[in-house]
Chains A and B, each alone.
Chain A
Amino acid sequence: MATVKEMRTRIGSVKSTQKITKALQMVAAAKLRRAQVATEAARPYAQRMSAIISNLASGVSGPSAPLLLAGTGSDKRHLVVVATSDRGLAGAFNSSIVRAARIKIAALIDEGKDVKIITVGRKARDQLRRQYGERFVFSYELGLKAPNLALVHPIARQILELYTAGEFDVVTLIYNRFKSVVTQIPTLKQLIPAQVEASGEAGAFYDYEPDEETILTELLPQNISVQLLSALLENQAGFFASQMAAMDNATRNAGDLIKALTILMNRTRQAKITTELTEIVAGAAAV
């Protein structure tokens, strides 16, 4: 059995771990609130943009439709963009994204498709590198700042360049949708060709200034950036929520452990005192 001194050291180390998890939990809770506000503030833009695009798309079809909208007509070569966070200590947050990505990638490979991967966030890179490292096109890190347009522009530009160079037919984005503080759902979203929901008010005739083509060639790339941005914002909010829950659990577990260890330590100490006393009494009686 461990000695009292050993147990005291152990309790001390669990206590300092608990302090760290507690601090991380509070930091995550504070950041979560800000991230949630940012996510909700960014939603109207993305929603209205897809509304405009689906309006436009119902008007353009056939061979004249731009590549980003209509696709290349094939679905042989896939690009999968996996977005996670840079950091860990957030429960199953990153692994659930990576698991969804693995399933998707494996399914595509089984179908005989050609798959390439772009990772956004350090965790996606680290967790997928061993299995699919040779399929990586590029890896991005998020850095410490909150996601903004300046951050996603280079990623969007690279995707667009590869796409217009004819490297891919389909681009899919994988991230965690922030449903609530307790639920984040790994989500697959097809970026290219743009997915257009059939709008109820189809047939609204719009005039275009300067013209349809110019607008679509500006709108569609911008749409990629915006989709990416909203995915990263959802990820960020989900990450903090998940981290908060994970650290809350860890703090509670540490508390339980400290309680159990303290009881054990006190018992051991008491047992030792009792033994010593019995020995002294027995010794005195023998004299």
Chain B
Amino acid sequence: MSSSGPSSQPAFAMPSAVSFRNVSRAFGSVRAVDRLSLDIDEGEFFAMLGPSGSGKTTCLRLIAGFEQPDDGHIEIFGETAEGVPPYKRSVNTVFQDYALFPHMSVGENVAYGLMIRGVSRAEREAKARAALEMVKLGGYELRRPAQLSGGQRQRVALARALVNEPKVLLLDEPLGALDLKLREQMQEELKALQKELGITFVFVTHDQGEALSMANRVAIFNEGKIMQVGSPVEIYERPRSRFVADFVGSSNVLPPKFAAAHGGTAYWTSLRPERIGVFAPGTLVPAVQAHADGIVTSINYQGSATRFCVTTDEALLTAETPATAARYRQGDGVRLIWPKSAMVAMEAET
């Protein structure tokens, strides 16, 4: 609703889908969201990743309108969201446990939002049917939610939200209750659906694999603050803090002194286990690589890979190698070798 036409506006004038400015929300003495600022662009598949209690779900609920900020400003597509009740927002939610209405059929559940808006019976039934077909549940209209499996309920919840053509779709741990195989399948489907519809998806998860594989952009939450926002590659390859390095994947966090002595700089440094190769003692090290000698203290076989814990003079390092390369035993002396470029200097220790 800007007063001037698009031509007179520079490119950045297009409002974000969701924008937080210094938003805080406290529950008693707990600051669930702490002076948080964030922009989510239109059409993004945005993930909020963090441990439980990190404020990511509260953020989602602030967008949905179930919570109101104590302080700060929230905009949804350029319109102020504070004080606007959930039923007046063009945002829909897929709830963690789906929250399907048990006294209604699947079709009635999906058509609920349309019924509330006064859409005629014929039209809402047609739209509900189309939405159910989109999530591959065509023909399930007359079933009751209790008759469906977890994965099917999840799809119904998705159809029920999408049938209202929201500008932003919020997903709260959408795949948390599904088993592994189904989860992987739904990840693919959600990704495809988001591409097809072009709607902004915001989803909350504590599963880093899920966040990295599905989202265009990921925000890492901790204690009510965002530690880092970026593409999955940026988050994984260039963690800016020890928390991010540890929480997303696992990492060797090297103290500044050790890093500087082994091909890095005098900062806290992240080094991913899979970038470290395990070799026989005395193996030649090219100039672009760094090394440390140590003794294997434990071996952890994980199927596709094997993890070695190696004690060196100054640090305990974890290396992850393909299972076929794992020919060392506990107590063996080894030389760990890694590219210097794999060492990522971080801004903060925490």
Q: A and B: partners?
A: no
Which residues of chain B have a CB within 8 Å of any CB of chain A? Answer: none
